[in-house]
Amino acid sequence: MRRLRVATKVYVILAAVCAISAAMLLHRYRITDGSSAEDLLSAADRLAWNNDWMGATPIYHRAELLFLQEHRPSQALYAHVSQMIPRADWDPTPSLLIELNQDLTLPAAQAAETRLRILTIEGMIETNYDAGIAEQTWEKVQDIAMRQGHYLLAMRAVGERGICEFFLGDLAGAKKLVLRAWIVAKYLHDPAAHVRYASVYGAGLVELHHYQEALRALDEAITTARTSPGVAYPTIAINSKIDALRGLGRYQEALALANDAIEHLPTRNLDAHLLQIMNAKGQVYEAQGEWPDAITEFSSALEYSQKLKSWRAITVTAALLAEAYEHQAQLDAALKNIDLAIDANAHLSEEMYYSPRNLAIKAEILDKMNRRAEAELFYEKSSTLINSLLATAPTQTVERDLLTEMRDVYSGAFDLLCRQGKLADAFSMIESAHGRIEAQALEHHTIATPHEPSPIESRIKQLNLELIQTDNPGVKQELEKALENADHDGDPPLATEVARSPLPLKSIQENLKPSEILLEYVLGEPLSHVVVVTNSGVRAYGLPPESEISQAVIRYEKSIHARAEDKESAALLFEQLLRPIVEYRAKTNVIVVPDGELNRLPFAALWDSSRYALVDHVFSVSPSATVLALLRGRKPPPALEVRKFVGVAASTEQRQYPANLLLSDTALAEPSEFVSIPESKREVETIAKGFGSSATVLVGQAATLTTFSHLPLDQYQVIHLALHGYANVQFPDQSALVFVPDDKDPTDGRLTVQQVRRMHLRATLVTLSACNTGDGPIGEADVANLGNAFLEAGADSVVMSLWELEDRSTELLMTSFYNNLEQGKSKAEALRNAQLMVERKGLMPYYWASVELVGDPSQWI
């Protein structure tokens, strides 16, 4: 109730500001106090069409009141929902979407124009929240608009779908749709749409760090807006251009643009756009290392936020200011401002995702003030709140984004606990981040779409709020109990056991064999760590800083890709990552839980004095220790007809693939990259012979995704896919394996990460004899790649590659791997022996080190 009163007060202030800026607009459209509701609605629609929602809002409000007086509920509802776009700057997005969904059920929403307007507003709000949901809404808008003859709106819906596909990673599809809408906007003189598409597309490129390309789109948006009377101020384009210039190191240009934008803002007083520009300007000073200027700019922005009583702005800006003061060692001022940020977040019970990071910033400041006990308390509160937010995340996209953003929270807490000698707690903390998505998938955790909170969800949100406002440990315990109850009583369950906390260290140790050692790495500054776990003990070692290790990994990776033997880099990484570990010499089987750039490092190819590490040790990888234990603790599947093997080889002959199957990170891959691999047919057929009559083989034209998908995949023990593959590092869900295009549907040939996750497998082993299947976005809490996706789908282990594979050596390695399995070797040992055989032929790591096993390495087939 308190949140609603605050939001209403903010909205009244916003409406007053809009009224000031709309005075001239009312005069322009000859609107007087005696204007009809239809005249008001028409004027507001013209402003909204030109993206001037701030100017349109007070006019919509007047129209709504008149329609209500005239007992015209459909038109009143149309005017009411049209006022929601400015509210998105203040009100929580889930609440707005719930409200719109409720509006759609009203009798007044059955009028065609009103229903179309509600869906349009819903799509606009969803686009910045969850592009997958938004794309479905915009498809409805496009369909209804076409049937009602609103062709320009239908084309805008096409452009909005393109923006959604851009955010989802389908760049080729995005370019096609946006370009189509863009051309229509130019030739049919719809400059507002032109500005919109160029602005959002450019902003997306900035997020991808493609700054130079972004500037072209952003400049076009700014120029179009300035030369088109009536089109709203291009706020998105201006702010994104400042960020792009900052990313390019063109600081003076960024500052000049920020100053010019502030000078020419159409509304100068208490303007949310002004706050964004001031914060962007402060971040430019921050990037230059001009901390006093950054503090001055953030302070001014905070003052504006407080005048406006924008709790969201106060939360964000006060945290930026606190970090700037912390960097200058002004810890008292830093503590004061981070408390201000946390207090402001208490007014945003629907948007608690700001709080975990702010609580962690406070913990970091307290740590530097030597108030370690208090620091640990705030890290605990931050971790508990993250668990709650992840368990109640409205969509999986929100969950993944939140987990990625919170990586620093976990690593900071881990570092503090390590320095205090609390290794079990430190281990549990970092396990809360590593492999979390995979662990939840193994327990069949599902994420709901935005919906009206259930009583237990409402109670959890209230406990979240109490958690940041009190130091009472009872609140934390009650929140954890509420999450546990939600697991048992929720429909569907909100949280699984691993969503609340990872498996304890003791359970992990019980799942390790005497010959095994688990190495969980945590990269950070100024120190990195590795936690060493055996079945009888645990120990942590300090390692060089993340920057130093990452540089060494990147250098070695470049050498390998150049097919050079770089023993110097391999030896340096061995000294940094393995040499300090005393237990390493006593164990033969090494299970690595990597972090950051280590996800791309083949540990077997590190150089130990006179030999590769592969010679003495068997290496495998797991997303986390919890994932490994869950895999080993699985109950055997119910008795089914067991089919031992299915093998697929698609690229057995030269063919032209449809362009939309050949996506790379930012553009279309050249068809020449997808050459024929005749060795793949021999590879699959040779391996299949070892499985006898129970083997299924799809090669050449038979290797379509449609045929593969219709197999009883949950009955196969081993799945071997010798296909082309590519990794989309920036949009991991679009990483894919490429099958033969179906004659009936030539576009149906990509098996993406997103599609793999929806599969239901019981395979002991999935082998991806394809390029880059282990590549994913480095720096996230978990690496979203094809290999991990197959674990989420139900596989016990996955053999995958870190870089492109060489055809002949791959065939040799794979056939040797399966021969070793046939002789009774464990999966990890079978792979290691196959790699060792290739290495002993004198071949460099490029030819054998790419392939690694992820998941449970110890099973026999």
Check whether 539 has a pLDDT greater than 60. Answer: yes
Domain match, 474 and 547 both: no
| Range of weakest confidence among 391-400, 525-534, 810-819 | 391-400
DSSP state of 520: E
Q: Is 156 exposed, middle or buried (0-12, 13-18, 19+ CB in 10 A)?
A: buried
Residues 6+ apart with CB under 8 A from 551: none
Residue 148 in any domain: the answer is no
- The alpha carbon of 80 is separated from its chain's Cα centroid by a whole number of angstroms, namely 33
Structure tokens, 825: 């070797």
Give the pLDDT mean for 801-824.
85
| Residue 751: CB atoms within 10 Å | 22
The boundaries of the domain holding residue 715 are 640-855
Say if residue 431's pLDDT is above 90: no
- Residue 25: what pLDDT? 44
Q: What percent of the chain has pLDDT over 70?
A: 81
Residue 36: inside a domain, yes or no? no
pLDDT for the residue 437 = 67
In a domain, 860, yes or no: no
Q: Taking residues 251-265, report their average pLDDT.
A: 91
Q: Based on the domain organization, do 214 and 256 belong to the same domain?
A: no
| Phi, then psi, of 722 in degrees rounded to 5 | -95, 85
Positive or negative, the CA dihedral 309, 20, 221, 144 is positive
CB neighbours of 373 closer than 8 A, spacing ≥ 6? none
Same domain (yes/no): 374, 513: no
C-alpha 103/C-alpha 93 separation (Å) is: 15
pLDDT band at 440 (very low <50, low <70, confident <90, very high): low
Q: State the total domains in the chain.
A: 5
613 and 645 in a common domain: no
Q: Are residues 236 and 302 in the same domain?
A: no
CA 711-713-717 angle, to 5 degrees, is 130
Domain boundary among 496, 519, 541: 496
- Hey, which of 46-55, 169-178, 346-355, 438-447 has the most confident mean pLDDT? 46-55
462-471 per-position pLDDT tens digit: 787 788 878 7
- 491 and 362 housed in the same domain: yes
**Reported confidence tier of residue 801, pLDDT bands at 50, 70, 90:** confident
User: Strand ranges (DSSP E) for 670-764?
Assistant: 695-699, 716-722, 724-726, 736-738, 750-752
Mean pLDDT of 156-167: 84
Least confident of 30-39, 64-73, 295-304, 734-743: 30-39
Q: What share of the chain is helix, strand, coil (3-state, %, to 5)?
A: 60, 10, 30
What separation, in Å, do the N-terminal and C-terminal C-alpha atoms of the chain show? 59
Q: What torsion, rounded to 10 degrees, do the Cα atoms 258, 264, 269, 272 define? A: -50
Give pLDDT tens digits for 461-499: 778 778 887 877 788 788 777 776 665 555 444 444 554
Same domain, 360 and 294: no
Tokens for 286? 């921050």
Average of per-residue pLDDT across 282-303: 95
Return d(Cα 129, Cα 842) in angstroms, integer. Answer: 53
561-617: pLDDT as tens digits: 899 999 999 999 999 999 999 999 999 999 999 988 898 899 999 999 999 999 999
Distance CA 733, CA 777 (A): 10
Residue 67 lies in a domain: no
CA distance 818 to 810: 12
285-290 average pLDDT score: 94
Quick one: tokens of 750?
């990509």
**Cβ neighbours for 59, distance < 8 A, ≥ 6 positions apart:** 22, 25, 26, 31, 40, 43, 44, 47
Is residue 18 assigned to a domain?
A: no
Q: Could you tell me the CATH number of the domain that includes residue 259?
A: 1.25.40
Nearest to 765 by CA among 854, 675, 661: 854
Q: For residues 585 and 481, state if they share a domain.
A: no
- Among 105-119, 443-457, 489-503, 552-566, the range scoring the smallest mean pLDDT is 489-503
Distance (Å) of CA 527 to CA 15, 298, 415, 468, 542: 50, 30, 8, 29, 7
- Least confident window among 6-20, 101-115, 221-235: 6-20
CB 752 within 8 A of CB 793: no
- Statement to judge: residues 799 and 732 lie in one domain: yes
CATH code of residue 546 = 3.30.420
Q: Which amino acid is at 828?
A: A
Q: Are residues 263 and 224 in the same domain?
A: no
Higher pLDDT, 22 or 68: 68
> How confident is residue 671, by pLDDT bands cut at 50, 70 and 90?
very low
Indicate the length of the chain as a whole number. 861
Q: What is the mean pLDDT of residues 817-837?
A: 93
- Is residue 85 included in any domain, yes or no? no
H helices of 188-271, in order, are 191-207, 211-226, 235-247, 251-264
Helix 93-104 / helix 112-127 crossing angle, nearest 10 deg: 160
Average pLDDT, the chain: 82
Which pLDDT tens digit goes with each residue over 202-216? 887 887 788 998 999
Residue 445 has pLDDT above 60, yes or no: no
Examine the pLDDT at 747 and tell me if it is beyond 80. Answer: no
Instruction: Indicate the pLDDT class of residue 137, thresholds 50, 70 and 90.
Output: very high
The torsion angles phi and psi of 782, rounded to 5 degrees, stand at -135, 150
415 shares a domain with 509: no
- Per DSSP, helices labelled H in 330-371 are 331-345, 355-368
447 vs 182, more confident: 182
| Weakest mean pLDDT among 64-68, 154-158, 602-606, 733-737 | 733-737
Instruction: Clarify whether residues 472 and 590 are in a common domain.
Output: no
The 3-class SS string of 537-576 reads CEEEEEECCHHHHHHHHHHHHHHHHCCCCCHHHHHHHHHH
